[in-house]
A and B are shown apart, each in its own frame.
Chain A
Amino acid sequence: MNQKKRSANKIYSKNELGQIQLLSPVIILVTVFSLVPLLRGIYLGFTDYRLGDAITFNGIDNYIQLFQDDFFWNSFRIGMVWTFIVTALQVGLGLGLALLLNTKVRFVSFYTILILIPWATPPIIRGILWRQMYEPNTGALNVLLTNAGIISAPVNWLSNFEYVIPAVIVAGVWGEISKAAIFLLAGLQTISADLYEASTIDGAGMWDQFRNITLPVLRPVLAAIISLTFMWNFNTFGIVWVLTQGGPGGMTRLPMLAAYEEGFKYGYIGYAAAIGNVMVIILSLMLFMYLRVQLRERNEA
């Protein structure tokens, strides 16, 4: 490592100006179109800004209002339900699929190609696919259930208060299982087969192997995937937009949909930014707690 560093300096003297020149497009683009807007967005969350009006700082008024706003609480409640259930199902089912694919039975590469396709489907198309599955009169689900004699009259899954949340969650999990499975499979493939062979000789069963070999090695990858998917799921927008637009009666209005409505439908930019700020704080807190537990477990192990 040290030798490498020295030889690098032999070719190119440590020229920081040259580096900044090469990096300047990135620095400019990120600063102008990402960093500054983000800081400004955070600031707008403390103003009563409406598009076209003057911007007035109003301290924590937005947050006091949010605290009393049912619209906001409903949206965060469903946001939490959605995020926890989709993440758990996605990672759990993805891990199961990854373990199956890692057994290296025949046709695995063929299976892998098929499994990639839902992940490759754009979020909007995922919504369209599932709308056609749930369609009351001609949709696949009602046809199957009617033929099986489970239901006698067609169910309108996406406008029924009882079924809409599970229906949207199934559609959300569908496109995301492959992603978790493929990432976890890559993690599993870093585990050397010798470890398993040695433990088989020692008489360990499959469950022991999973607990004592697979899980410890997989832990960092698993923690990374859980944190990332948690963030992505909390910020979901497109698929739910197509499936229900947040309805019926706001039952599936995830936080991003609520912020979009406030900001771009009603024009309450400041209030929408405040929702964004609360989302960041909640996400950061959850990730912080989760990663702290992870670190403690790793230190104890």
Chain B
Amino acid sequence: MKTMKASSQLWIHGLIILYLLFLIFPLVWVFASSLKSTQELYSGLPTLLPQHITFEHYRSVINGQQIFRSMWNSLIVGVVSTLLVVSIAVPSAYAMVRYRSPINNVILGWILLSQIFPVILVMIPLYVLLRYAGLTDSLNGLTLIYIVWSLPFVLWMMHGYVKSIPLELEEAAVMDGASRSQVIIKVLFPLLLPAIGASALFAFISAWNEFFFALVLMKSPALATLQVELARYTGMEGQSRTGPLAAASVIATIPSMLVFIMMRKWFTTGLVSGALKG
């Protein structure tokens, strides 16, 4: 690789930049739109870069009740479901790795199998069930759904991480007279902390980005999540909202963008080694 010719290096950069033009252009375009004034947006001759940078659309998004409230709803549902799903998944993953029993294979098999079923099949009876329980059109109901929905993947991730921790560490602590709960809290937990962080970020983002469940379950406008609220804006009011919609899109993308960038090491190493080890 070191002996690669300068001309072929140039080719590779050129091709990557071609990809980037396609992948980044829509984002740049909308980010620029979010900074253009309303007159400029409808001037008929748009340019890529804004002529005068203005934050009016960001201001109107943050002051505008609806979008701000829907952001708050998404945040609450995301944080609560993440905390709960992680506190369920960590002890469960531990139990799956440290005890060998047929239940483990049933659970892992379920995680894979559940990928093939379209959400519509689960959603219909779930909707009926939640309606009985008075949990449709309620943030509690949505939180519950998100816990169940991200549980398989978080469990899968944690299972891989716990597996990678050598048993010898626990044995040593037991030799020193630690009880099992002490082993878990003092030995395992600190080692697992980065993994727990990664799984938590993942759970949060899947809740933050989710659309279908929220669309079906949340009927009152005051309870809409951010994704539902933004989708509604595109439907009804269309282009009169280009500016605020662009600003809201930028804001809505920032959390997952940060998470993806923080987790990129995990994507390129952890994911595949975990998948191959099974």
* A132-B103 CB under 8 A given contacts A186-B267, A238-B211, A238-B227: no
Known: A26-B155, A132-B242, A238-B212. A182 touches B268 (CB 8 A): yes
Other-chain residue from A177, A220, A237, A259 in contact with B23 (beta carbon distance below 8 A): A177
Question: Of B89, B231, B259, which one neighbours A124 at CB under 8 angstroms?
Answer: B231
Q: A272 near B: Cβ within 8 Å?
A: yes
Kindly identify, within residues 145 to 159 of chain B, every residue whose CB is under 8 Å from any CB belonging to chain A.
Answer: 145, 147-148, 151-152, 155
Residues in A whose Cβ lies below 8 Å from that of B171: 7, 10-11
Q: Is the interface of A mostly helix, strand, loop or mixed?
A: helix
B193 is an interface residue with CB less than 8 A from chain A:
no
Contact B231 A20 (CB under 8 A): no
**Would you call B245 an interface residue if the criterion is a C-beta within 8 Å of the partner chain's C-beta atoms?**
yes
**Are A123 and B209 within 8 A (Cβ)?**
yes
CB of A30 within 8 A of CB of B151, answer yes
Q: Are A41 and B25 in contact (CB under 8 A)?
A: no
User: Are A182 and B267 also in contact (CB < 8 A) when A29-B88, A129-B27 are?
Assistant: yes
**Bound-complex Cα distance A133 to B48 (A):** 12
Does A199 sit at the interface, judged by CB under 8 A? no
Question: Is there a chain B Cβ closer than 8 Å to A18's Cβ?
Answer: yes
Known: A7-B171, A114-B23, A114-B24. A138 touches B41 (CB 8 A): yes
CB <8 Å contact, A128 and B245: yes
Q: Are B124 and A269 in touch, CB under 8 angstroms? A: yes
A88 at the interface (CB under 8 A from B): no
In contact, A174 and B271 (Cβ under 8 angstroms): no
Chain A interface residue count, CB cutoff 8 Å, equals 109
Q: Is B177 an interface residue (CB 8 A)?
A: no
Q: Give me 13 other A-B pairs in contact (C-beta within 8 A), A37-B126, A40-B125, A121-B257 excluded.
A: A33-B148, A38-B125, A96-B19, A120-B261, A124-B211, A128-B246, A132-B33, A183-B271, A235-B119, A241-B211, A241-B215, A259-B118, A275-B120
Within A90-104, the residues touching B (CB, 8 Å) are 93, 96-97, 100-101, 103-104
Report the minimal beta-carbon distance from A120 to chain B, rounded to whole angstroms.
4
B81 to chain A, nearest CB (A): 12
Evaluate contact between A100 and B16: CB separation under 8 angstroms: yes
Query: A30 touches which one: B98, B110, B170, B209 (CB < 8 A)?
Result: B110
CB within 8 A of B174: which of A11, A174, A287?
A11
Within the complex, what minimum Cβ distance (angstroms) separates B191 from chain A?
17
Q: Does A131 contact B (CB under 8 A)?
A: yes
Known: A132-B33, A138-B242. A5 touches B100 (CB 8 A): yes
A143 to B29, CA, bound (A): 12
Interface contact A273-B29, CB-CB below 8 Å = no
- Of the candidate stretches A67-75, A159-167, A277-285, the one touching chain B is A277-285
Q: Are B260 and A245 in contact (CB under 8 A)?
A: no
Q: Are B101 and A16 in contact (CB under 8 A)?
A: yes
A20-B103, A125-B230, A185-B268 known; A237 vs B211 contact (CB < 8 Å): yes
In chain A between 146 and 179, which residues have their CB closer than 8 angstroms to a CB of chain B?
Answer: 174, 177-178
Cβ proximity bits A51-62 to B, threshold 8 Å, 1 near / 0 not: 100000000000
Contacting pair A115 B23 (CB below 8 A):
yes
Q: Mark A18-55, 1 if CB is under 8 A from B, else 0.
A: 11101101110110011111101110110000010000
- Report the minimum CB–CB distance from B36 to chain A (whole Å): 10
B51 to chain A minimum Cβ distance, whole angstroms, is: 14
- A235 — which chain B residues lie within 8 A by C-beta? 118-119
**A276 adjacent to chain B (CB < 8 Å):** yes
**Cβ contact within 8 Å between B124 and A273:** yes
24 residue pairs bridging A and B, Cβ less than 8 Å apart? A19-B95, A22-B95, A23-B95, A29-B148, A40-B125, A41-B120, A97-B19, A105-B13, A111-B20, A116-B257, A118-B27, A120-B257, A121-B27, A129-B29, A132-B245, A132-B246, A143-B46, A256-B212, A260-B212, A263-B124, A273-B121, A273-B124, A276-B117, A287-B116
| Cβ contact within 8 Å between A174 and B12 | no
- Asked if A8 is an interface residue, CB under 8 A from chain B, the answer is yes
Q: How far is the CB of B49 from chain A (nearest CB, A)?
A: 13
Q: Quick check: B23 and A280 within 8 Å, CB to CB?
A: no
In the complex, chain A residues whose CB is within 8 Å of the CB of B12: 100, 103, 105
Asked if B185 is at the interface of the complex by the 8 Å CB criterion, the answer is no
With the chains together, A14 CA to B95 CA distance in Å?
Answer: 11
CB pair B24–A117 under 8 Å, yes or no, is yes
Q: Which residues of A contact B88 (CB under 8 A)?
A: 25-26, 29
Q: Evaluate contact between A124 and B33: CB separation under 8 angstroms.
A: no
Q: CA–CA, A177 to B208, complex, Å?
A: 21
- Looking at A14, A18, A19, A287, the one whose CB has the most chain B CB atoms below 10 A away is A19
